[in-house]
Chains A and B, each alone.
Chain A
Amino acid sequence: MKDYFAGIMAVLWKDVLSELRTKDILLSVFVFSLLSLVIFSFALRTDRATVAVIAPGVLWAAFAFSGILALNRAFATEREKGSLEGLVITPVPRDVIYFGKMLGVLLFMLAAEIVLLPVFVVLFNVPLDVPRLLLIIFLATLGFASVGTVFSAIAVNTRSREIMLPVLFLPVVVPVIISAVEASARVMAGEPWDNLSVWLQVLVAFDVIFVVVSSLVFEYVLEE
């Protein structure tokens, strides 16, 4: 058991260290989210009244699309140097590799999203109930990372990898996006906790189901 977690931590440490050196994922997620927010502002022709209505949707559309960028990079280093094989030959259970990579991606996406939040508040003038919003962001991003890690590993091994990842990823995470938007909208409107609960339940259900399923099928993606 101790070995199991040690393996996960080793993979996570390696990814975090690499990322801190290049800041690849963090920068691309942040910059792309920012760009998305700005473009959406122009595209949706918002005035004071409509801003509140579209704000949660815009936020999560930006997070979903930049999430794809992060996932694209998740296995990039491994692909370039063939290091994925290097991971495959290590004597660890395959789901150790899954959890290590997934936690890394989760961390990077969360970091960029949290930095973006104040920018969002400023641009869209929304009130912020930080703890609740952070909970939603965490649960939804975990949902993204759970299946995203599997699809990223698949896409990296396919010809048209740039198109394959969003094509596989976005339809599957529709429940996450719906729930995140609905829950965020209620938080921004200051509604009571009860109104959010059904959406949080969907998020938690999605997370639990797909972390389990993904960790089980991941080994088949690594095999050759």
Chain B
Amino acid sequence: MNDSGPPAVETRRLSKDFGGRRALRSVDLRVRESESLTIFGPNGSGKTTLIKILATIVRPTGGAVTVAGFSLPQDALDVRRRIGVVTHQNYLYDELTCCENLTFYGRMYRVQDLPDRIRTVIAQVGLEARLHDRVRTLSNGMQRRMAIARAVLHNPSVLLLDEPEVGLDEHAVNLLEDLLARLNDGRRTVIMTTHNLERGLRMSDRVAVLVDGRIVYQEARAALDVERLRGTYAQLAGARA
């Protein structure tokens, strides 16, 4: 892990207003390179908004955001080259095959040696057998794995995951966790949001809790166990959960 040097992701007093609704109030966050951060929070706390801002999908209203060394919203293009995003929606085209989907995104990301790269990632997510099947025919769990393949295709230095376990059954979620663990080669910065405290803690170096658009708690995994986290979370988020 890289302790010195600039953070991979940083926000300072980040805020977001959606006209009538304030989704994020003042978020200060620093994620070091190669660090894995898991963010917990009740529904409506602003987790998805935070991920979407880092993913350049949503523009911040106030504050400063830096991802992979570039500022948002000005250098959005440079940020996009260096991030991979997985949300509830898989960003896959149903009528196209897995291979065609990856080819499309590969071209958009200007991935070199695309055919080889596709073969590599599809093997990493364990879907070689379905490479030429239409995405429509894949189960939810497989589609989510395909989404991850899409997200890492261009070898991003930062991976953003917004509740990747949503919509998947227990078995699929286990597969997902294994996959993410394998993909986390220690060089990528990973920011993930999730509802599952146990899993989230297991997969991270550091955790944070977001409530009502503010980070109210941060702690290194080393200093925590599941029980303590559960207690702290219930206390912080209890009234709103």
Partner of A224, one of B57, B83, B91, B105: B57
- Cβ-based interface call for B89 (8 A): yes
A14 and B108 CA atoms in complex are apart in Å by: 11
| B91 with A81: CB separation less than 8 A | yes
A6 partner residues in chain B, CB cutoff 8 A: 107, 110
Q: Known: A14-B104, A17-B100, A91-B77. Is A81-B94 also a contact (CB below 8 A)?
A: yes
CB distance from B126 to the nearest CB of A (A): 22
Among A85, A93, A223, point to the contact of B59 (Cβ < 8 A).
A223
Interface size class on chain B is 20 to 34
* CB of B52 within 8 Å of the partner chain: yes
**B87 at the A interface (CB under 8 A):** yes
| Residue A131 at the chain B interface, CB threshold 8 Å | no
List chain B residues, Cβ under 8 A from A22.
95
B91 near A14 (CB under 8 angstroms)? Answer: no
Bound form: Cα–Cα A224–B55 in Å: 12
Q: Which of B87, B92, B100, B109 contacts A90 (CB 8 A)?
A: B109
- Contacts A6-B107, A14-B104 given; indicate if A89 touches B92 (C-beta within 8 A): no
Cβ of B96 within 8 Å of any chain A Cβ, yes or no, is: yes
Give bound CA distance, A3 to B93, whole Å. Answer: 23
Minimum distance in angstroms from A154 CB to a CB of chain B: 17
Q: Which residue of B57, B91, B110, B150 contacts A3 across the interface (Cβ within 8 Å)?
A: B110
Is A39 in contact with chain B by the CB < 8 A criterion?
no
In the complex with contacts A10-B104, A91-B81, A224-B52, A85-B57 CB distance below 8 A: yes
Interface of A is mostly: helix
> Which DSSP category, helix, strand, loop or mixed, fits chain B's interface?
loop
Whether the pair A85, B110 counts as a contact (CB closer than 8 A) is no
CB-CB contacts below 8 Å: B126-158 with A: 134, 150
Asked if A7 is at the interface of the complex by the 8 Å CB criterion, the answer is yes
* CB < 8 Å neighbour of A82 from B56, B91, B107: B91
Q: Whose C-beta in chain A lies nearest to the C-beta of B105?
A: A90
Name the A residues within 8 Å of B88 (CB-CB): 82
Distance between A9 CB and nearest chain B CB, rounded to angstroms: 8
User: In the assembly, what is the distance between CA of A6 and CA of B92, in Å?
Assistant: 20
**Cα separation A6 to B78 with both chains bound (whole Å):** 18
| Chain B residues within 8 Å of A85, by CB | 57, 87, 89, 91
Tell me if B90 counts as interface (CB < 8 A to partner A).
Answer: yes
Interfacial chain B residues near A87, Cβ < 8 Å: 108
Cβ-defined contact, B93 with A83, below 8 A: yes
Distance between A160 CB and nearest chain B CB, rounded to angstroms: 19
Given contacts A77-B93, A81-B93, A224-B52, contact A89 B83 (CB under 8 A): yes
A18 within 8 Å of B (CB atoms): yes
Q: Given A18-B96, A88-B56, A91-B108, are A81 and B89 also a contact pair (CB < 8 Å)?
A: yes
User: What residues on B are CB-neighbors of A167 within 8 Å?
Assistant: none
Offer 28 A-B interface pairs, CB within 8 angstroms, sorted by A: A6-B107, A6-B110, A7-B107, A10-B104, A11-B108, A14-B96, A17-B95, A17-B100, A18-B93, A18-B95, A21-B95, A22-B95, A77-B94, A81-B90, A81-B92, A82-B87, A82-B90, A83-B93, A85-B89, A88-B57, A89-B56, A89-B80, A89-B91, A90-B108, A90-B109, A91-B80, A92-B108, A224-B58
A→B interface (CB under 8 Å): 3, 6-7, 9-11, 13-14, 17-18, 21-22, 77, 80-83, 85-93, 223-224
10 nearest A-B residue pairs (beta carbon): A86-B91, A82-B89, A10-B107, A91-B80, A90-B108, A91-B81, A21-B95, A224-B58, A14-B104, A18-B95
